[in-house]
Every structure is written in structure tokens, then in C-alpha cells.
Structure 1
Amino acid sequence: MTAQTLAPGTQMAREMAEQPDAVRRTLAALRPQRADVAHLFEGRSRVLLVARGSSDNAAVYGSYLLETRVGIVAGLASASVATHYAASLDLSDTLVVSVSQSGSTAEIVETQAWARACGAATVAITNVAGSPLACDADVALVTQAGPELAVPATKTYVGQLVAMAVLATALAPDPAILDADLDRVADEIERLLAARAGVGDAVEALQAASYAVVAGRGLMLGTALETALKLEETCLRPVRGYSYADLRHGPISVVTSGTAAVLVAAPDGPLAGAMVDLALDLRERGAVVVGIGGSAAFPTACDVHVAGPDLPEAVAPLATVVAAQLVVEELAQALGLDPDAPRGLSKVTSTDRDS
């Protein structure tokens, strides 16, 4: 049976198809808030991002974008420092950005309140306007993805990436620095969704593999981690997500015949060549290399290649992840699984703090 006869018209697929319009709506809604974000950051020098799950992967992208394109020190905060250790920190020089698609994850809401008590200014990134996270923030960047019914985050995740780009450009000397490229993202996503170039071959390679690793680097690291998460939670396969550097420092030794290595790469940037070298190295070790995106030289270094967007590195993650979503959704169907409701997962994350 083909994937199409197993589960035609999944909710996940329908929500993936909504992403171009979700991107356009979110850009239109959030760009006017740049001045509010910039005003909030006045007198402050760093950004901390708080998130879990897919939202944490969006935060990884935001952190890299702030540091590489805006020159602002950024990092990921550990929510347990607030919720379990109740540490008293001086955050008077900090903008804390809390990210949750539902805006109702208790751990993230509590951490935002803690950050304000420690002197931070707060920005919420969420898809729900009336959520506790949005209502309690100094500025709420509410993405316009619409209700998401499938458990795997697709359009809400891409909406968070858009919000990260708007946040970063709001703090840049020239807020319009990425606007021309951001305006092309929705069209590139539409093109990828229509073409599905290489998706079927990637599904075959991953279906045959006994183990998989996913790697990326720099601005594409969040995309690699999100791809690994989606493969693991939606397709129930053992998958590890690594940065290029972490994979090189030891774990690469377990990559042998029978392993699928999924590499996500940008079309340009200082790490494009390194991803080609990694693909060649992994093939020499016996792995089947599935490449997503990358430079002109990248496809020939891979065994299977899934087309990515024609976008520069700074915004490529917003569309490259859609190519990965296509692979995940089709692979889940090929394995006889329901991509809309992965086993044991729910839409709103609950941690031990919530019980």
C-alpha cells in the first residue's frame, strides 16, 4: 500500500499546506510591533529565551540570529532555575523571551513571572492571544497560524520562527535588514510543498535504516533538532539530533552501515562547505546520507537529496523545516502510523511542575 492509501489527507498535511498564508499573516501582524520591542530593550544588553520542545528549537534559531546578525548576546534559559531552584538573579539588563504555542504551559508561564520579578522585561511568543503567557508579558508577539489540531507542531513552529526573525530585526540598527528575504519565505514554502522534490526517496532511505542521526550547524541547528524531534515523536524511530561539531566530537564513531544520516544545510553561509565535507565523511563510514537543502555542491555529496528553499542562511530555516516536515509526514504513513496523534503525546506540554 502506498502512503496515500494508508492515510489520505492527514490533518498534519492540511496544516502544513496552510503555512504560506500563516507566514504572511504573522509577518503582517508582528512587523508593526517592532518599535514596541525596541523600546522595551532600551537600556538592556542581552536576551534570554525560555521554551520547551519544538518551541525550544525555535529559540535556538532566535539565539543564533540575534548573535550573528544583530550582535546581541543571547542564550537559552533553564526554566528549572526558576521553577525548582527559585534562584534570585539580577535580570535588570535582560529581555526575557518566553515561547509556547499554547501560551498555557505552566512552567513557561511561571518562568516569565519569575523573570519579571528579577527585573527583566518580557516578551511572549505564542499562537493564542488570550493565553496566560500573552496576557502577562510586556509585549506579546502573537503568531497568526490559526488553531493547530494535529499534535506535531508544523504551522505554529514556522510561525515562531517568523516571530524570532521579527524580534531580532526589531533590535537591529536597521529593522528592515531581512525584510526582502522574509517576504519571499511564503512563496518558497509554497514551491516546496508543491514540488516535494526528493521526499519519496528520503522516505525509502529512512524506512530501511535501523538507526538515524540528524545534524546541522549554526543557524540551521534548530532545524536539525526539530527534524530529529519530529522523526522521533511522529515516526517512533530512535533518532539523535546533533550539532555538526558535537557529532564530530565522538558520536560519529557509531555511524556505520545501516545508519541514516539526515543533514540539514543552508544554501550559503560560512558552514555550507563544512556540511558538504560532513556528508562525504558519513558516506565513507557506510551511512546513507539524506541531505535537505544546502549549497549547489551539497546534493552530489549525499545519497538522497530533498530540495530546500532558495533563501539566504539567515531566513532559510523558516522554509527548510517544511521540507523536513514533508518527509516526516510521509514516513509516518509509510510506517502505518498516524502522524496526527503520535503515541503518548498531547498538544500542551506538561512537566512535573504542573502535576
Structure 2
Amino acid sequence: MAREIAEQPAALARTLQALRPQRAELQKLAADRRVVLFVARGSSDNAAIYGRYLLEVHAGRASGLAAPSVATHYQASIDLSEALVVCVSQSGETEEIVETQAWAAGRGARTVAVTNDGASSLANAADVALVTQAGTELAVPATKSYTAQLAAMAVLAGSLAPEPDALDADLDRVPDEADRLISARAGVDAAAEKLASTAEALVSGRGIAFGTALEAALKLEETCLRPVRGLSYADLRHGPIAVVDSDHVALLVSASDGPMVPGMTDLAHDLRRRGAAATIGIGGDNGFADAVDIAVPGPDLPELVAPLALIVPAQLIVETLARQLGLNPDAPRGLSKVTQTDPA
């Protein structure tokens, strides 16, 4: 896992370079489509959440997450003739996702596959395949394949935006920012030590960074075997915040700018007032860093592209924590690289 975290800057650069030439093809494919639907599971679903927000906020395209069971279990009859359906799977062989893509195409959708394997079933059946360039990923927890998917989402959203190259200058800075965070490891050891002190943790973020928060929570669960709740701060405030007590460590994730920073900063103050054991903040601005107990710097990137590197400190924390707990971060118990949702 540590080696593959370190390989992310190069994987991000390769993926952006490889996928940008497909912009015109994506524009043509989506030209008469009114809505974009994402189909994914696990880490890929968290990447899709970023894609959904970016398409709506940056490209002005109505987007949403589709439930694969609507296709695989209910075989619902839905008119998708105005939809672009984007199916996301690292392996391209998760049967549920492959089946849902075929179902969508049969109901009039045009399809895009986002996968790390250009020879996969998903890629071969799609109208357009965005093949990420993460290279072979051996550790079970997704790291470089996940951030490469985020790069694909940025290319997709940019392709459907009024100015397709508007994000390019900031995206070009992503590999160097990821590399800087990997080299510096600022706050990583302190954050891992604090998380090791309790089994009670929650993770929160919102907006463009929400998918990053959910991915951090997933990594803590699957790699460190800790029960973790990942919630937007809006949902957290609507009831679940009542469980916060002196046993809870809260991991808060924020971009360095954008409309969600004030709310995340206020949440940090609120959690402290409620007696949380500690708050760990990844990213944010100076006010956010001052509001948390342990500040872990994030990337110097604007909100729209920050998630491509914002997850890196969380990955480093998780890998460090797993080793502190005596666990193997490369092969969490009971998991495999290609996940099938339902038994054969």
C-alpha cells in the first residue's frame, strides 16, 4: 500500500495525459443527453460522488448515482434514452457493474466505462472507455486506482463543461501536490496515534470533498478494521452528532477554499464543545487548522480539483495506523481485489 501511495503522482500524470485526447469523443457522445448517471461500488462509488458533484457544479449537467440493484435484481423498465451512464470499476470485471451497463444500454443509454483495464468486459462493451493509467495495483485497498479514477472524473466533467480546458492549469499541478504531501507526511503520525487511542471514529466532509471523506472512512474500516461512520456535516448535524462523546475521534476533510470551509470549521468547534476526544483536520484554511486538535495539511489546489490529492494524507494515516495496530494494510482480512456483490 505504501509503495502504491507513492506511485500516485506518476499515475495521475499518465492518466490525465492519456484521457484528455478523448474530450471530443465524450462531448459528441453526451451532446443530446440531459442527465448523467453513475454506477459503481466501494471506492469507485466514492470517485463517482466526486464526478457527480463536479458535473453539476462545474459543467452544469444534472447528475446522480444509480442503484445497480434496480437493474440486476429488479430489471426495471426505465427509459434512459436521454441519459449518459458512466460505469466505474477498477477491474472492469465486477459482474454487477458489467450487467448494469448492459441493462442501461438496452434501455437507450449511451455508456462510458471508467476502468484500469482496457481489455476488461466493462471497457469492451462501453461506447467510450476511459482507461486509467494506474498500472497494476497489488494491495487490496485502492489507492492509485482510486485517484486515477478521480482524474478520469475531472476529464469527463471538463469535457462536458462550456470551457473544456478550464481546469487544465490546476489539474497539471495535481501530481506535484500529491508528491509534496507524500514526501512531507506532515501531521500523519500524530493523527494515526490519536486514532489508535480509540475504536470510536467518525469522518465528515461535504460538497466537492464529500467523496473524499467517504473514501477516508472506507479505508479506515477495511484496512484498520474500525467501525467508522462517514457522513456529510449536514447529515451529521441532523441527529448522529448526538453520539459524539469523549471516546470519539473525528476526522474532518476540507478543501482549502470554497463554500464548505466555514461550515467545516464551525463543525470542528462544535465537536470540541461536545467533548470529542480529538478532532483531526485534513486540508482546509488557516481558520480550519486552528479549530482542530491535529492539523494535517492538504494540497494547495482549488476546491474543484482538490480531491485528486486531498485523499493522499488520509491514505498515509490509514497505512500508518494499520501498522501501529499490527495489521497488514496490503491484505485486509476477508477482502479481495475484485469484489462480486452477490454470490454466484
Q: TM-score, normalised by structure 1?
A: 0.96
SS, match of residue 100 in structure 2: helix
Which of 318, 335, 340 is 1:345 aligned to? Answer: 335
Say yes or no: does 1:40 pair with 2:29. yes
Say yes or no: does 1:125 pair with 2:111. no
Residue 270 of structure 1: how far off its partner (Å): 0.6
SS, match of residue 286 in structure 2: coil
> Which one-letter code corresponds to 1:345 in the other structure?
L
Deviations 1:136-186 (A, max 9, x none): 000000000000000000000000000000000000111001000000000
What's the counterpart of residue 319 of structure 2?
Answer: 329
Which of 165, 172, 194 is 1:183 aligned to? Answer: 172
What's the counterpart of residue 313 of structure 1?
Answer: 303
What's the counterpart of residue 129 of structure 2?
Answer: 140
Q: More displaced, 145-154 or 284-293?
A: 284-293
Deviations 1:46-91 (A, max 9, x none): 1000000000000000000000111100000000000000001100
Which of 33, 39, 53 is 1:50 aligned to? Answer: 39
Residue 209 of structure 1: how far off its partner (Å): 1.8
What's the counterpart of residue 104 of structure 2?
Answer: 115
What does residue range 1-355 of structure 1 map to in structure 2 within 5 Å?
Answer: 12-287=1-276, 288-352=278-342, 354-355=343-344
Q: 2: distance between equivalents of 1:266 and 1:221?
A: 10
> Which one-letter code corresponds to 2:324 in the other structure?
A
Q: 2: distance between equivalents of 1:115 and 1:295?
A: 42
Q: 1: distance between equivalents of 2:39 and 2:33?
A: 17
Residue 106 of structure 1: how far off its partner (Å): 0.3
Q: 1: distance between equivalents of 2:272 and 2:247?
A: 11
What's the counterpart of residue 9 of structure 1?
Answer: none
RMSD value, Cα = 0.6
> Which one-letter code corresponds to 2:133 in the other structure?
Q
Residue 42 of structure 1: how far off its partner (Å): 1.2
Residue 210 of structure 1: how far off its partner (Å): 3.0
> Which one-letter code corresponds to 1:181 in the other structure?
D
> Which one-letter code corresponds to 1:240 in the other structure?
R
> Which one-letter code corresponds to 2:135 in the other structure?
G
Residue 238 of structure 1: how far off its partner (Å): 1.2
SS, match of residue 98 in structure 1: strand
Q: 2: distance between equivalents of 1:282 and 1:343?
A: 32
Deviations 1:258-298 (A, max 9, x none): 10000000100011111100001001111110100011211
Q: TM-score, normalised by structure 2?
A: 0.99
Q: 2: distance between equivalents of 1:210 and 1:339?
A: 17
Q: 1: distance between equivalents of 2:74 and 2:247?
A: 43
Q: 1: distance between equivalents of 2:34 and 2:285?
A: 34
SS, match of residue 264 in structure 1: strand
Aligned pair count reads 343
SS, match of residue 180 in structure 1: helix
Q: 2: distance between equivalents of 1:180 and 1:221?
A: 23
SS, match of residue 44 in structure 1: coil
SS, match of residue 341 in structure 1: coil
Q: 2: distance between equivalents of 1:329 and 1:49?
A: 29
Q: 2: distance between equivalents of 1:119 and 1:273?
A: 42
